[in-house]
Amino acid sequence: MATTSSLISTLFSSPSSSSSLSRSSNTKPTTKIHLSKSLHLHTPTLFLLRPSSPKLTIPLLPKLSIPKPLLLLCTSLALSFTLLLSNADSAAAFVVTSPRKLQSDELATVRLFQENTPSVVYITNLAVKQDAFTLDVLEVPQGSGSGFVWDKEGHIVTNYHVIRGASDLKVTLADQSTYDAKVVGFDQDKDVAVLRVDAPRDKLRPIPIGVSSDLLVGQKVYAIGNPFGLDHTLTTGVISGLRREISSAATGRPIQDVIQTDAAINPGNSGGPLLDSSGNLIGINTAIYSPSGASSGVGFSIPVDTVNGIVDQLVKFGKVTRPILGIKFAPDQSVEQLGVSGVLVLDAPANGPAGKAGLQSTKRDSYGRLILGDIITSVNDKKVTNGSDLYRILDQCKVGEKVIVEVLRGDRKEKIPVILEPKPDES
């Protein structure tokens, strides 16, 4: 071991270490090898100089009697020690991380969803049923849907068909707190209902109310729902049609000026809000057009301008005082088969507005022959071609207002003044 140390010391300190070592041959070119001291390594280094190649650094091990396994072990330990002391930043270079970058429209959608989900609630419809075997009375869920917070007083707006036939209603807010809900009022004709919960005001986030009169086909819309009470869902699309008409699921009365959208509206999303790109409410998601009951790209929403007036009446009076003529009229197909245009009066009760004004009903004579009643052709000089036209005109009128009804009686036309009245069950 002493011999080895003295050899290494002599190698580093000998003046001849900087001299040139040469090997000559008769047929091969001479390669000069310069031996220099290394400042950081304990092993001398050889620099091979060639005319056309860069300088290469090759470790030169002295010819010592060191076993090869021991040499390999020392080399491995040296490499491990070097990696251990290396900078952590160089090791992190091997981990490739790609930062998540969202486009501006994606950021706007995410922000809209986060800001409006606290206003969307989950509604559970419970009904009382009797067990057929034990005769016990149980409350079982018969339906569910979505809704949204209207104001800080705890009013919740949803569809009427979501709460229809319920004996008990529960509302789950965005923080998963559940409250018993009471029905303030509902409008079956427009499929709108208002509930109320006794929740703390700091937990109630009213949704921003927008306007639906200036909507355009093609603008983006967003439908938020809480279909299963577990978490909120978001679907996006555009307005694919305006001024559509659907029938109320409860009364069959047509609902005019409905918004058509291709945003997916699943059954559990009924009663949820339809928002514009600013996050304002423009409609209530109410129905889908699909034979299978699944979303097929055709959904309908009740416009917020219609909902606004209904909710105000329900909150103030608990009912909607919508005017009626007090008649029963024939289906549109029957009138078309007669070759006339208008609404055929089948019955006008004597105690109703039309009966008091003198409108005539359809009846049979003593021989069983059908005598047609009055056919309404216009109201306040607005043409009436079918039942939808008549409803649309009456929706713009008020209770107690006098309207001029033009009818076709036989082969002549008459104008009859009628004073509109509310429904008997709403008086």
> Number of structural domains, the chain?
3
Q: What percent of the chain has pLDDT over 90?
A: 27
The pLDDT value given to residue 138: 52
Question: At residue 204, does pLDDT exceed 50?
Answer: yes
330 and 416 part of one domain: yes
Question: At residue 61, does pLDDT exceed 70?
Answer: no
Question: At residue 349, does pLDDT exceed 70?
Answer: yes
276 and 356 part of one domain: no
343 and 365 part of one domain: yes
Most trustworthy range by pLDDT among 5-9, 98-102, 387-391, 404-408:
404-408
Does 270 reside within a domain? Answer: yes
The pLDDT value given to residue 415: 92
Tokens linked to 419 = 């004073």
The pLDDT value given to residue 134: 58
CATH number at residue 327: 2.30.42.10
Q: Which domain holds residue 152?
A: 116-203
357 vs 248: CA distance, rounded Å:
29
The pLDDT value given to residue 44: 46
The residues facing 323 across adjacent strands are 422
Mean pLDDT of all residues in the chain?
Answer: 77
Nearest one of 298, 270, 295 to 284, comparing CA atoms: 270
Does 85 reside within a domain? Answer: no
**Confidence bin at 216 (pLDDT 50/70/90):** very high
158 vs 272: CA distance, rounded Å:
7
In the listed set 317, 346, 374, which residue is the last one of a domain according to the structure? 317
The pLDDT value given to residue 86: 57
Q: What is the pLDDT of residues 103-161, one digit of tens each?
A: 888 898 999 999 998 999 988 887 655 555 555 555 555 667 889 999 999 999 999 98
Lowest mean pLDDT among 140-149, 212-221, 408-417: 140-149
127 vs 355: CA distance, rounded Å:
40
The pLDDT value given to residue 341: 85
CB 242 within 8 A of CB 260: yes
* Amino acid at residue number 381: D
CB 289 within 8 A of CB 300: yes
372 and 422 part of one domain: yes
The pLDDT value given to residue 64: 53
Lowest mean pLDDT among 3-17, 89-103, 176-190, 223-237: 3-17
233 vs 295: CA distance, rounded Å:
14
Most trustworthy range by pLDDT among 28-37, 53-62, 324-333:
324-333
260 and 338 part of one domain: no
Question: At residue 344, does pLDDT exceed 80?
Answer: yes
Phi, psi of 195 (to 5 degrees): -110, 170
**Confidence bin at 397 (pLDDT 50/70/90):** confident
144 vs 141: CA distance, rounded Å:
8
Does 371 reside within a domain? Answer: yes
The pLDDT value given to residue 25: 41
The alpha-helical segments, DSSP class H, found in 350-404 are 353-357, 387-395
In the listed set 289, 317, 345, which residue is the last one of a domain according to the structure? 317
Tokens linked to 92 = 């992190």
**Confidence bin at 31 (pLDDT 50/70/90):** very low
Q: What is the pLDDT of residues 257-293, one digit of tens each?
A: 899 998 888 767 788 999 999 999 999 998 766 555 5
310 and 345 part of one domain: no
The pLDDT value given to residue 28: 45
192 and 238 part of one domain: no
Residue 209 is classified by DSSP as: B
The pLDDT value given to residue 184: 92
**Confidence bin at 91 (pLDDT 50/70/90):** very low
Of residues 397 and 52, which shows the higher confidence score? 397
In the listed set 282, 301, 317, which residue is the last one of a domain according to the structure? 317
410 and 366 part of one domain: yes
170 CB-near residues (< 8 Å, 6+ apart): 123, 124, 126, 178, 179, 180, 181
Q: Name the residues annotated as catalytic.
A: 161, 191, 270
Tokens linked to 138 = 């149980």
245 CB-near residues (< 8 Å, 6+ apart): 254, 255, 256, 257, 258, 388
Q: Is 162 exposed, middle or buried (0-12, 13-18, 19+ CB in 10 A)?
A: buried
Q: What is the pLDDT of residues 227-250, one digit of tens each?
A: 766 678 888 999 999 988 888 877
308 vs 192: CA distance, rounded Å:
10
Tokens linked to 247 = 């029938």
SS3 240: strand
**Confidence bin at 32 (pLDDT 50/70/90):** very low
Question: At residue 18, does pLDDT exceed 60?
Answer: no
The pLDDT value given to residue 40: 44
CATH number at residue 288: 2.40.10.10
Nearest one of 351, 329, 334 to 407, comparing CA atoms: 329
The pLDDT value given to residue 148: 94
Lowest mean pLDDT among 12-26, 255-269, 294-308, 397-411: 12-26
